[in-house]
Amino acid sequence: MRTHFAVALSTLLVVSQAMQLSAQSRHEGGSRPSPVRPSPVIPHEPMAREPGHAAPEVERGRPPATAPYVRDGHWYGHAAPDDPRFHLDHPFQSGHFGLVGPSHLYAVSRFDLAARHIWLPGGMFEIADWDWPVTTPWCWTCDQFVVYLDPDHPGWYLVYDVRMGEYVHAEFLGG
């Protein structure tokens, strides 16, 4: 009887420890390292680019990134202005999200991972399906976000995760 109890208790402790380590790994960004910064660095709005740039910008001296990111105020990995994925027949069909830019810091109030929807104070966004994998290490319940108007793709916004230093494209679905 004591042996069964000892085995059960040992198993419970091992499983509990593994779950804590797994949760910590997800919170810390999974396989991509989180930028080490003493305080959040919130970039200025991205600059519009000229049409015809076929490939996203790559940081000089670094391999192409798996996720679009911002470093030293420069937006890397942003898709070309004429990328057909971003064409919307009716840009801003649900209106405009009013409070954009680096002076507006948000926490997600609700999210639906299956639908790729996030709710911020002021409205709901749908993350672009091709950008959705970028958000895997993001913590929707604990990270802070900034929303920018995408200067290259009419009707799209950029949702920037302050902790990760990464961003994704999202369409505003209204308030």
pLDDT tens-digit readout, 19-64: 443 443 444 444 444 444 445 689 999 988 877 665 677 778 777 7
pLDDT digits (tens, 9 = 90+) for 66-90: 789 998 888 988 888 888 999 999 9
Q: How many CA within 13 A on the CB side of residue 22?
A: 6
Decide: helix, strand or coil at residue 115. Answer: coil
Give the number of other Cβ atoms within 10 Å of residue 127's Cβ.
21
Place of tokens 């790729």: 116
Bridge partners (DSSP) listed for residue 147:
159
Considering only CA atoms, which of 142, 119, 148, 118 is closest in space to residue 132? 118
Structure tokens at 114: 């299956």
How high is the pLDDT of residue 104? 96
Q: Are 26 and 142 within 8 A, CB to CB? A: no
